[in-house]
Structure 1
Amino acid sequence: MIRKAKPEDYKPLVELFMIENEHNAALAPDVVNRTKDVLTESELTEILSDDNQYLYVVEQNGVAGVLLGNVVKVEGKRWNRPRSYGYVEELVVAETARGQGYAKSLICHFEAWAKEHGAESVELHVWANNSVANQCYAKAGFKSKQYLLSKPL
């Protein structure tokens, strides 16, 4: 069952975001710090009270996954068109719950929510070396749009 997160979900959300933090820190140690401070109760309250924030969980014998996202509206300029898109900030499924379609279900639910809020597309960033996530997103219909290049100095 997918439902909006509640304040009572604080501890399981912290656990999931800790998994994400550890995973990202392993993939990109030059960018991501390992931390236990992944979400405060006041941040959770702020997210839940913001109509432009999407924080939903998949519940299967407890909270098994979470998607945090929002809708971004870009004003048009002479050099770009106005647009509105849903942005996936975080998508985490507990290791014991992977392979059961929860990530895809959360993405589909977010897509419908984003469309209702005026989004024309859904976008996200994923580490190039995160093969599992890249496969998951490809199965959900995502395609590469742009590359971020980096060069250490």
Structure 2
Amino acid sequence: MTNLQIRPATLADIDALKEFEQGVIAAERPVAENLREGEITYYDLIQLIADAQCQLLVAEVEKTLIGSSYMKIKPSPAHHKFDRHGYIGFVFLQPEYRGQGISQQLIQALFSWGKTHGVTEVLLDVYNDNAPAIKAYEKLGFKKSLVEMRVEI
């Protein structure tokens, strides 16, 4: 896509980012049995934009935001190989732009940002039943690592 721009999010993008957040939640509800009913939020968007240890990117086509993702640098558990890692979240694309490699471009841009900040390992969470997302992440080299299990008692 020749008119695609990937850039850091700004406070002026908040309204669109809030819509994207609800899009992420709507997509996850069918595969996330533990989400409560009603309106919920996942992210402190203002904090993600302001945090020097985080890069929140947006994808834009002709001045219209179409997608987002972030990487946050986090400390790793003491028993891990690396002392810190990049955590990727908030991967969202408007439905009409999916399947065009844009999310991969967003994540590759985050990889580049992470490398400039000394990140050598990147983690993310994805619901086990979200096969399209898992396939997209595997194309970028991600491998399944740990399976979280749950039960209601």
CA contact (8 A) 1:25 1:33 kept: no
Q: Percent identity?
A: 24
- Give distance in 2, aligned partners of 1:128 and 1:75: 23
- Structure 1 stretches of at least 4 aligned residues deviating more than 3 Å after TM superposition: 31-34, 36-39, 79-82
| 1:73 partnered with 2:91 | no
Root mean square deviation of aligned Cα: 1.9
- Give distance in 1, aligned partners of 2:48 and 2:94: 21
Q: Are the structure 2 counterparts of residues 146 and 44 from structure 1 closer, same or farther at C-alpha, using a change threshold of 3 Å?
A: closer
Q: Match of 1:94?
A: 94
- Give distance in 1, aligned partners of 2:150 and 2:87: 22
Q: Are the structure 2 counterparts of residues 98 and 81 from structure 1 closer, same or farther at C-alpha, using a change threshold of 3 Å?
A: closer
Q: Match of 2:49?
A: 48
- Give distance in 2, aligned partners of 1:112 and 1:88: 13
| 1:145 partnered with 2:148 | no
Q: Match of 2:124?
A: 124
Secondary structure, counterpart of 2:35 in structure 1: coil
| 1:7 partnered with 2:8 | no
- Give distance in 1, aligned partners of 2:149 and 2:40: 29
- Give distance in 1, aligned partners of 2:81 and 2:136: 30
CA contact (8 A) 1:5 1:56 kept: yes
Q: Are the structure 2 counterparts of residues 107 and 32 from structure 1 closer, same or farther at C-alpha, using a change threshold of 3 Å?
A: farther
Taking structure 2 as the reference length, what is the TM-score of the superposition?
Answer: 0.86
Q: How many residues align?
A: 148
> What per-residue deviation string (whole Å, max 9, x for no partner) do you get for residues 57-113 of structure 1?
01113111100220112364xx55442211012111110111111100011001111
| 1:30 partnered with 2:31 | no
Residue identity matched to 1:56: L
Taking structure 1 as the reference length, what is the TM-score of the superposition?
Answer: 0.86
